[in-house]
Amino acid sequence: MRPSIGYKNGRLLAATTLLVVSAGSAFCAHPCAACHPKEVQGFLGTPMANSMGPPGPGPSGTVNHRVSGTRFTIRSSSDQMTQRMERDGLSSQYSIAYSVGSGAHAVAYLIQVGSHLFESPLSYFAESGWGMSPGYENLKAPDFYRPVRAECLFCHAGEALPITGTLNAYRDPPFRSLTITCDRCHGPAAEHIRNPVPGSILNPRKLPPRARDSVCEQCHLDGEVGIPNPGKQITDFRPGQNLEDIYTVYIYRSSRNAAHPNALTIISQSQQLALSKCALKSGDRLWCGSCHDPHAIPAEPTAYFRERCLHCHGTALLKSHAKPNES
């Protein structure tokens, strides 16, 4: 990860930035599996490969939103999920069309009305269960009315298919690929599949540092807002480009301080790495791939990441760092 970050007027300018499908059927259908079986098999178990999908079975429940006096009821079965809203004698109920997120932290939900996608006001959080989706907590009349734009889906869907000139209307079906695919990090694979020779596919590790880091930054540098450059859209980014050639990410000045209580959000991994001593002292050598394998989840994470630290720092690290659990 590139540790040097550009700032202007107290904000971060886009600089530094990981990434469950039925393993058997998905593996057999995967276009890259024939030549890269190990990588594909491992990837299918990662959060990226489970970034979006049908709602699936989940816990039923209720949420009482005190700010608005709204009662939400969730009913889930093996083949569908419905969410119902009741407030002031009025009610509405929708079937959930898609879930968004791997569930490691939370799962959000989308409804589909005709060709339009909207976000549910409810999310399921790994640590606390059902609750209001971010941004809905203090609304006086929460409902299923938040439009879901293509930019909102960029980091979760493999490829959304919006209808040009609309805010949240999509083709039928709305997605060419529901989950993140190999293309997201390696670029279009079609030519490589036709002619699998060196140079017909991108290996992020071999890109110049700025372009290498941009591959991860496209989804893991969150910030407060991303502003496309003139004539560009955020979804125009492709591996091999520098992120700031497509759009600029801004953050609050306070988030430069890792000790600030609200400095970092759960998906600003790029910023966290850029603020770390390891990144600050390594120049362009350290990046996300130095420690994380995007093609697999370690069977024993503590041992795996411990080895990654010792690989660079050697056993001298053991004397300078507390190790109550060898983590």
Q: What is the pLDDT of residue 153?
A: 93
Q: Which amino acid is at 79?
A: D
The pTM is what? 0.81
Rounded to whole angstroms, how far apart are CA atoms 292 and 296? 9
Give yes or no for residue 26 having a pLDDT over 70: no
Q: What is the mean pLDDT of the chain?
A: 85
| Residues 6 or more apart whose Cβ sits within 8 Å of residue 52 | 98, 99, 100, 101, 153, 156, 157, 158, 175, 178, 179
Q: What is the pLDDT of residue 42?
A: 93
Rounded to whole angstroms, how far apart are CA atoms 96 and 99? 8
Q: In the chain, pLDDT over 70 holds for what percent of residues?
A: 85
Q: What is the pLDDT of residue 262?
A: 53
Segment 19-43 mean pLDDT: 73
Segment 133-141 mean pLDDT: 94
Residue 32 tokens read as 């890259």
Q: What is the pLDDT of residue 255?
A: 66
Give yes or no for residue 222 having a pLDDT over 90: no
Give yes or no for residue 24 having a pLDDT over 80: no
Give yes or no for residue 7 having a pLDDT over 70: no
Q: What is the pLDDT of residue 104?
A: 85
Domain residue spans in the chain? 6-50+182-296, 52-153
